[in-house]
Structure 1
């Protein structure tokens, strides 16, 4: 099998947001097909990622509307454009994630999802199991975070 690198794959470029973006704005982006995740960038560096599952956890755990930095997944597992498709699938499987920002020395290049890998790999190589604790929104020092924090 010839290994294809991500640099030759058709990467999606969903909107990016900042850590201070209101959750309501992130939710609006995630309602648009085919946006399934939003990379969170701070000064060009990927510092987090937010998915619909993060928003569901926020709604389930709080009445507030915190900024994205409170609910984003961080640190973020990333890959480089030189990563092979099978290497990216393995990275997703071991990290238990379904989205990988692609970054190089110059910064963010695009977002790779399990769906993006499906034309390149057999289904059994794309099974991703989440291996972490259930999503949880942590407060700052044990206090409840206000909506505009």
Structure 2
């Protein structure tokens, strides 16, 4: 089975935001970007994640406009770039989140989302084991695909 790493599916140009940024600015940035989450960085360290859902909940419940720090999800569940997509998906499931900042040695590298992992994860894990060489060239010069007995 080929193990795809998180590095392959990370969005490296993930928008980031400061924890003191007004929520209205965060909402505007989420409205104009392809990404549904902003990673909150404080002096280069990931300290939170703000999603569209966080802002919708705030407006629906209070109508207030505090800084991002007040609504960001924290503590943040992160993943290393060399983790497999299956490890990342399991980490998301366990934490109940849809976005994981990718961090190596404390350095933010990008964001991986549930939607970016979906094509690599199946509800049914199929393991195929070949008992013989799946592509064999016989002495007659013909090529055939075989799948051992």
Q: TM-score range by the shorter chain?
A: 0.7 to 0.9
Q: Given that residues 10 and 111 in structure 2 are in contact (C-alpha distance below 8 angstroms), is that contact kept between their aligned partners in structure 1? A: no
Shift of 1:78: 0.4
CA RMSD in angstroms, aligned pairs only: 1.6
Q: Is the contact made by 2:98 and 2:113 (CA closer than 8 Å) also made in structure 1?
A: yes
For 2:53 and 2:41, the matched residues in 1 are separated by: 19
Q: How does 1:107-126 map to 2 (within 5 A)?
A: 107-123=107-123
Kindly report which structure 2 residues correspond to 1:84-103, keeping only aligned pairs within 5 A, or say none: 84-103=84-103
Whether the 8 Å CA contact 2:27–2:55 is kept in 1: the answer is yes
- Aligned partner of 1:44 in structure 2 is 44
Q: Which runs of 5+ in 1 are unaligned?
A: 126-149
Aligned to 1:130: none
Alignment length, in residue pairs? Answer: 125
2:15 and 2:39 in contact (8 A); partners too: yes
In the superposition, the TM-score normalised over structure 1's length comes to 0.78
Structure 1 residues 20 and 124: CA distance shift in structure 2, 3 A: farther
| TM-fit CA distance, 1:47 | 0.2
Contact 1:29/1:35 (<8 A) preserved:
no
State the alpha-carbon separation in 1 of the partners of residues 33 and 56 from structure 2: 18
Q: CA deviation at 1:124?
A: 6.4
Which residue of 2 is the match for residue 80 of structure 1? 80
Residue in 2 that maps onto 1:58: 58
Deviation per CA, 1:73-112: give whole Å up to 9, x if none: 1001000011111000000111110000000115100000
Change (3 A) 1:60 1:105: same
Runs of 4 or more consecutive aligned structure 1 residues displaced over 3 Å after TM superposition:
none
Question: Which has more radius of gyration?
Answer: 2
